[in-house]
Every structure is written in C-alpha cells, then in structure tokens.
Amino acid sequence: MSRPAPSWSSRPLTRFKDADVLFKVRAPEAAEIAALKSGAIVAAALNPHQDKEHAERLGQAGASAIAMEFIPRITRAQVMDMLSSQANLAGYRAVIEGPRPMARPCR
C-alpha cells in the first residue's frame, strides 16, 4: 500500500531548505530566496541586468544562479533554450486555435 504524496502547499517554504537545486519559470520571490540553503543552485528566468537586487539576494543567500534566458540560442543548446521552446509552443497553439473561429474554409 502506497503513502499519499505530501502536499506541496501545506509547507511550501520548508521544502526550499532541503533543496539542492531549484527550477522555476520565474525568479524566486524574496521569501523563497531567504528559505534556500547555502550552496543551492537556482535555474530560472532571473533577468539579472534589470533586477540587480534579486541577483544580489541570491548571492547573499549563498546560492548559485543560472539565468535561463542567457543560454545561447544555438542549435546544440536549443533543447535548453527557454525562448525557442516558448516560441515553439506558441506556434503549436496558434495552429490549434487558428481554425477554431472559422465556420467554413475561406474561398
């Protein structure tokens, strides 16, 4: 008999203390950075040129940061490139949604 999975929302910040690596779409919030253990690795869209305070907070917390938007847009790295994957998804969604409002094909 398996145990039920622990609820993420019941203790969200306590999970950060044990995490060696944190993957997020957006940059972690101040409370999440404060809860990180020293030496943790954070991979997210960090926008360090515009949000220098955020980058400094990560450094003060002892975290290593990977700004996903800085992964080069080359063929070999395209599977990790955040912008290419989002553009691909948007194109796919456009193909799915495009014909929806049309009652019949255009002549």
Please report, for the domain that includes residue 34, its CATH number: 3.40.50.720
| Residue 29 resides in a domain | yes
Residue 2: the pLDDT is: 65
Residue 98: the pLDDT is: 75
| Residue 12 resides in a domain | no
Residue 70: the pLDDT is: 83
Let me know the angle formed at the C-alpha of 30 by 29 and 36, rounded to the nearest 5 degrees. Answer: 90
| Residue 44 resides in a domain | yes
Cβ–Cβ < 8 Å for 31, 41: no
Terminal-residue alpha carbon distance, the chain: 61
Positions in the chain short of pLDDT 50? none
Residue 68: the pLDDT is: 85
What's at 57, amino acid-wise? R
Residue 21: the pLDDT is: 94
Domain extent, residue 81, equals: 17-97
| Residue 103 resides in a domain | no
The model's pTM = 0.62
What's at 80, amino acid-wise? M
- The count of structural domains within the chain is 1
Residue 71: the pLDDT is: 76
| Residue 106 resides in a domain | no
| Residue 42 resides in a domain | yes
Residue 84: the pLDDT is: 65
| Residue 35 resides in a domain | yes
